[in-house]
Amino acid sequence: MNVRYLPLLLLAAFGVALAADLGYPLDAPAPDGRRPGGTLTQEFPAPRIAPEENKDMRRERNYPEQPPTIPHTIAGYQVDKYGNRCLACHSRANSARSQAPMISITHYMDRDGQPLAAMSPRRYFCTQCHVTQAEVKPLVENGFENIDRLLQQEANPAGHP
């Protein structure tokens, strides 16, 4: 045996002896988090994924430059280096025929803001920024107010119209 590994082996043996001496139970209650109950060694099935919202209605954006959310299901859409199903409706060439919003002009710019003839490769994978929605109960309280509401409250502090 190589002498270099002897301190590591002794440290591991000491750790095992210390852990056994403490008698730490592996079935101690797990901290209640997003999946409450059970013990550290128990495995629970993951909760079911909520179905995607499919209302096909534009949503209000909460702040400037927020990427719009996807108002329809994209299950089965191919978005990879071989193809992008989103462009079948949202490309410059197809948006008029499909009546879908055309992708933003920012998707036709390089990293220096210079216009490109084709879509920028940096903006090709839509789901890096755009996400579908699901109607679910929020996990935590959310008191977010968009900028328009905050400006309105600032202009009318006493609630006067």
| CATH code of the domain covering residue 70 | 1.10.1130.10
**Assigned domain for 17 exists:** no
CB 146 within 8 A of CB 60: yes
**Assigned domain for 155 exists:** no
130 among annotated binding-site residues: yes
**Assigned domain for 118 exists:** yes
Question: Residue 98: pLDDT band by 50, 70, 90 thresholds?
Answer: very high
**Assigned domain for 154 exists:** no
Task: Tell me the pLDDT tens digit for each residue of 29-60.
Answer: 666 666 566 776 777 787 788 888 888 888 88
Decide which of 42 and 113 is more confident. 113
| 161, pLDDT greater than 60 | no
90 among annotated binding-site residues: yes
Question: What is the residue type of 122?
Answer: R
Q: Is residue 78 helix, strand or coil?
A: coil
**Assigned domain for 29 exists:** no
What predicted TM-score, i.e. pTM, was given to this entire model? 0.64
Question: Residue 9: pLDDT band by 50, 70, 90 thresholds?
Answer: confident
Task: Tell me the pLDDT tens digit for each residue of 127-149.
Answer: 999 999 988 888 788 888 888 88
What would the two tokens of residue 19 be?
Answer: 């852990």
What would the two tokens of residue 6 be?
Answer: 């002897």
Rounded CA separation 130/91 (Å) = 15
**Assigned domain for 56 exists:** yes
126 among annotated binding-site residues: yes
**Assigned domain for 159 exists:** no
**Assigned domain for 1 exists:** no
Task: Tell me the pLDDT tens digit for each residue of 60-91.
Answer: 888 888 999 999 999 999 999 999 999 999 99
**Domain that residue 94 falls in:** 50-135
36 among annotated binding-site residues: no
What would the two tokens of residue 40 be?
Answer: 């550290």
129 among annotated binding-site residues: yes
Tally the domains of the chain. 1
| 11, pLDDT greater than 70 | yes
